[in-house]
Structure 1
Amino acid sequence: MTTTTASQVIHEPRFMDGDEFHIATFALLQQDGTLFEGARAPELGRETARRIYHTMVLIRVLDERMLAAQRQGRLSFYMQCTGEEAAVIGSAAALDDDDMIMAQYREQGALAYRGFGIDEFMNQLFGNAEDYGKGRQMPIHYGSAKLHYMTISSPLATQIPQAAGYAYGQKLDGQGRCTITYFGEGAASEGDFHAALNMAAVHRAPVIFFCRNNGYAISTPSVEQFAADGVAPRAFGYKMHVIRVDGNDVLAVYAATREARRIAVEHNQPVLIEAMTYRLAAHSSSDDPSGYRSKKEEALWREKDPVNRMRLWMLAQEWWSDDEEKTLQEQLRREVLETMKRAEKRPPPPLASLVEDVYAEVPARLQEQLDALEAHVRRHPEAYPKSAPGLDQGGA
């Protein structure tokens, strides 16, 4: 029998409990916007920094407005990124534009950074006729082939092994691209996580596994999810590069992800990043966090707000001003509200879209079902006020 690695031979039982694998946290930026002593900011550049910050503010405004819309009954469901903007947007900024992103469901900031417009967000959230998914997904399940952002899938952790497989294809393609997949520490408890890391390590796939350790898997605190030192030490079991980073420090996240991308692309090796952050918002619009965490705990993390930390650093660099901040906040709030009103008024997708996009030609059995549905809607126009008028034109 042969083994893949040589190991030291001992003659007395010696057990290890994992304390040897405690991993330090990489951080550059303090909460007051200054660098830690001895720290050096990454080569970010003024325009990239402004683009990152603009996206962070946009997502904060979008989240506030859309949660309010859900509470008003104008939207069925929403999930916020609040508190995790630096982890998501800082990492997305470190990628090349044609790298693939496979997200979980709280990474709208990565999509916005790549240029997904407010109109596009709203069309998906309301599932109207201009939604790329034609209203087939619940809100916040975004996707964009043009921006290399795989459409969100509801089942937890399915995107992680998919990312490993996609990255292996990128390796075979040889075009110098990689895949990043985002997930929470709760998803790291799924079997898909371990299967994906093992596959990526064995086949040397250029994939970045980005874990947003935000403290809670819905209502389950991280201390009840694993006994070891977080998620990062698991990488050692797969002989994988790993780093733990302050997820509220946008400069550290950017630097860590940029280096992870270099390792993945130049050496065809997977990398695990554990970003230590906090979900300031509820898990979703269906959740009430007051049942499992205290206001005092939330207040402590609000003092570590990643958006404010980035703003203070930008001011210190003279890359931003208080006047620009006021203008941006007013502009985005107005734009989000106006765009939402337009999206609400757009009609739903045509009924015929229910049977499209699966087969090259619509099978007879599906066409029969569609015909029956259209006939039903015509018989009961009072029950389908938005659908009935468009049936004569083949739409709804």
Structure 2
Amino acid sequence: MPTREPPAPRLHRAGPLPADLARRLYRLMLTARMLDTEAIALQRQGVFPAYVSLRGQEAAQVGSAAAMDPERDFAFPTYREMAVALTLGVDMVGYLASHRALWHGGLYNPLTSRFAPINAVVGGPVPHAVGWALGERLAGRTGVAVSYFGDGASSEGDVHEAMNLAGVLNAPVVFVCQNNRWALSVPNERQIAGGSVAARAAGYGMPGVTVDGDDLAAVHEATRTALERARAGGGPTLIEALTYRANPHSTSDDTSRYRDPAEERAWADRDPLLRARAAMEASGAADAAFFAAAEAECRAAAERIRDGVSAAPEPPGTDLFDHVFREPAPHLAAQRRVWEEEVR
């Protein structure tokens, strides 16, 4: 396997974040990192049947979500946006209930959290975001949809159709592609013609922005600018955040079968948490005491969420039938009777 070095940052740049904001976002990134580690452990212990890690993508997720207006905007995630959920204040026990297979899409309230149900369909959240954005505009409101997807999903027809529709109708959407370099086991160069997702934006009549996805400030600034543009009637923007999936695609994946360890080591030097810390130290936004306190605080938060989802009760089996149709259907009633006889 050839070694693929990280690309040199090309890019939308930004100055340091305000100190208070930098400290808040660092805590969110650190909590996400620690909770991700706890979630992997829960899968290894058999509590979760499966889990998808976000390690390495914390800046791309926290930086973009923190730019949103939680009173107006709405995020449409895939199955990997745990740090987006955390940033938007989603009930994280309810979020992780989906990974424990307690409830499809999670047990949190999407309407109050402004975070749509977890979507495991590759490219699936993108047309949903465009539909919501068009509805928001028809209602005379100023909310903007933020749609998350990966570099692999960028090759799906749903994504192309949704971005074309958004461009034609000038929909208020920010498309955030987290290009983590691998579509499961397929590298960028084997599935992205031309090598750039952002470059495709011109074909849909919208700006395409490439940003260093491991630079917290740059992601935040690019997303804030795109949100303001959409809110002012300027239409959609496509942001390609160049980052790296540090862990396997999921807990059932084995990167040693397709990825060179030297590549992983090279990207480890660009760890977004280390870069955020270095930027804060350089700007004087935080000192050693802050980082020590953040470590303890974030670890405690991750452990509380871990314990909460581990102890969450399983939903009643009748939910399989109660939430299918608004009015009872005869065939479903028959299935329920069979199920009740089998579980007695």
Instruction: Give the TM-score normalised by the residue count of structure 2.
Output: 0.90
2:258 aligned partner: 292
**1:30-45 equivalence runs, <5 A:** 40-41=15-16, 44-45=17-18
1:152 aligned partner: 118
Which residue identity lines up with residue 196 of structure 1 in the other structure?
A
| RMSD (CA atoms) | 2.1
**1:70-149 equivalence runs, <5 A:** 70-97=43-70, 98-128=72-102, 135-137=103-105, 144-149=110-115
Pair 1:366–1:60, CA change in 2 (3 A): same
Which residue identity lines up with residue 45 of structure 1 in the other structure?
P
Q: Offset at 1:72?
A: 2.2
In the alignment, is the contact (CA less than 8 A) between 1:143 and 1:152 conserved in 2?
Answer: no
Q: Offset at 1:54?
A: 1.1
In the alignment, is the contact (CA less than 8 A) between 1:141 and 1:152 conserved in 2?
Answer: no
Which residue identity lines up with residue 40 of structure 2 in the other structure?
L
Distance in 1, Cα, partners of 2:341 & 2:67? 52
2:32 aligned partner: 59
Q: Offset at 1:262?
A: 1.3
In the alignment, is the contact (CA less than 8 A) between 1:51 and 1:113 conserved in 2?
Answer: no
Pair 1:233–1:143, CA change in 2 (3 A): farther
Distance in 1, Cα, partners of 2:302 & 2:127? 35
In the alignment, is the contact (CA less than 8 A) between 2:26 and 2:276 conserved in 1?
Answer: yes
2:6 aligned partner: none
**1:343-358 equivalence runs, <5 A:** 343-358=309-324
Which residue identity lines up with residue 116 of structure 1 in the other structure?
V
Distance in 1, Cα, partners of 2:297 & 2:284? 21
2:130 aligned partner: 164
2:4 aligned partner: none
Deviations 1:329-373 (A, max 9, x none): 233334433443343233310122111233334334323322331
2:3 aligned partner: none
Deviations 1:138-197 (A, max 9, x none): xx8977221111112222112112211211112222221110101111111111111111
The answer on 1:315 being equivalent to 2:302 is: no
**5+ long unaligned stretches in structure 2:** 1-8
Distance in 1, Cα, partners of 2:101 & 2:109? 13
Q: Higher RCO, 1 or 2 (CA under 8 Å, sep at least 6)?
A: 2
Among 18, 27, 32, the residue aligned to 2:13: 27
1:236 aligned partner: 202
Deviations 1:182-237 (A, max 9, x none): 11111111111111111011111011111111100000000111231411111111
Q: Offset at 1:24?
A: 4.6
The answer on 1:225 being equivalent to 2:191 is: yes
Q: Offset at 1:127?
A: 4.0
Distance in 2, Cα, partners of 1:345 & 1:161? 35
The answer on 1:197 being equivalent to 2:152 is: no
In the alignment, is the contact (CA less than 8 A) between 1:84 and 1:279 conserved in 2?
Answer: yes
1:386 aligned partner: none
What fraction of aligned residue pairs are identical, expressed as a percent?
Answer: 36
- The aligned length equals 335
In the alignment, is the contact (CA less than 8 A) between 2:98 and 2:104 conserved in 1?
Answer: no
Pair 1:346–1:192, CA change in 2 (3 A): closer
**5+ long unaligned stretches in structure 1:** 1-22, 29-39, 129-134, 379-396
In the alignment, is the contact (CA less than 8 A) between 1:171 and 1:268 conserved in 2?
Answer: no
The answer on 1:174 being equivalent to 2:140 is: yes
Which residue identity lines up with residue 309 of structure 1 in the other structure?
R
User: Following superposition, which runs of at least 4 residues in structure 1 exceed 6 angstroms of deviation?
Assistant: 140-143
